[in-house]
Amino acid sequence: MSEQTFNAMVLREEDKKTKAAIESLTFDALPGEDTLVKIEYSTLNYKDALAVTGKGKIVKSWPLVPGIDFAGEVVETSNPKLKAGQKVVLTGWSVGEKYWGGYSQYQRVRGEWLVPLPKGLTTRQAMMIGTAGFTGMLCVNALEDAGVTPQSGPVLVTGAAGGVGSVAVAILSKLGYSVSALTGSTDKHEYVKALGAREFVDGPEWADPPRPLEGQKWAAAVDTVGSKVLARVLAEMNYNGVVAACGLAGGADLPTTVMPFILRGVKLLGVDSVMLPSKDRVMAWNRIVIDLPGDLLDGITAQTVRLEEVGAAAEAMLAGQLRGRVLVDVN
């Protein structure tokens, strides 16, 4: 097997610039972790787009095989909780940032990072969801854990046509929430409406800093954008409203005041998928199978790309030209 070769995308740093190339690797080149996985699918997430293009400081060690998530089959393992032939999913744990990731036909990873493929999902479907969709589910869980129900009132999703946003819209709508959506352009409305959004709130005001408090509109919100957008979301929350914030597609800053918190009791909940404990991952994956029906999932995946096409898709993602999820078929 050590003579056999397979393909992977490898990122190298040359003159402080990121160079991405598809390389033919041998198994000896893979990291010395305890579990070898034959990868079936990976995906393109916002973080992958930043890593592959070199436009964000994502890569922590060079050279690196990017891809922050994948699904596939265990080939060999010394982890007693896993066995050869078992289908598994990986998201997070700094894979695709610090450790070699999913843009490869094979990868060696720590067995403890793997989650058994949830019953009812194929590896393709698991990656149609991917880190972005998984995070959308975590945001919905965070809102509900804070006491939000469909009866609480309207829920706003920002970046609604993106990977996290699409899944959040689909799940919330299916659960009976009245979902309002913020998107970057009217071209995306038909797509987001098909996922269940009832109205769109796009308007020029989102480009401006909000007043400390605006009119109250939302019982809850999922924010994937950050910066001025999150500041306006906070200013527009109802008394005791709850915001789940997971992203920075519009910037990592947060130009707000304490007013929404101290005068309206607004709660801002941070959502992280990378270091989430394993037991919470299994629960979230099992919930996705129930709350994200297959027909909605089909609608969320805009395109499937090969390893050679990841670079172009990454550029398009950062330019805001994509909608929904991008599946990467490594084979």
Residues contributing to the site for ligand NDP (CB under 6 A): 45-47, 131-132, 135, 159-165, 183-184, 188, 224-225, 229, 246-250, 271-274, 317, 320, 323
Residue 56 or 153: the one with the smaller Cβ distance to ligand NDP is 56
Structure tokens at 38: 């034959």
Using left for φ > 0, alpha for ψ between -120 and 50, and beta otherwise, residue 64 falls in beta
Instruction: Find out whether 308 and 154 touch, Cβ atoms under 8 Å.
Output: no
Instruction: Give least dist CB 271 to ligand NDP, A.
Output: 5
CB of 165 to ligand NDP, least distance (A): 6
Nearest 10 degrees: CA dihedral of 259, 262, 265, 271?
A: 70
Q: How far is the CB of 308 from ligand NDP (least distance, A)?
A: 21
Q: What is the bridge-based pairing of β-strands 267-270 and 179-182?
A: unpaired
158 strand-pairing partners: 182
Closest approach of Cβ 286 to ligand NDP, in Å? 19
Between residues 104 and 224, which has the closer beta carbon with respect to ligand NDP? Answer: 224
Q: Which is nearer to ligand NDP, 11 or 182 (CB)?
A: 182
> Which tokens sit at 136?
């959308």
Report the residue number, 136 or 260, with the smaller CB distance to ligand NDP.
136
- What kind and span of H or E run contains 128? helix 123-145
Rounded distance between C-alpha atoms, residue 111 and residue 101, angstroms: 13
Between 30 and 128, whose beta carbon lies closer to ligand NDP?
A: 128
The residues facing 156 across adjacent strands are: 180, 221
Terminus-to-terminus CA distance in the chain, angstroms? 18
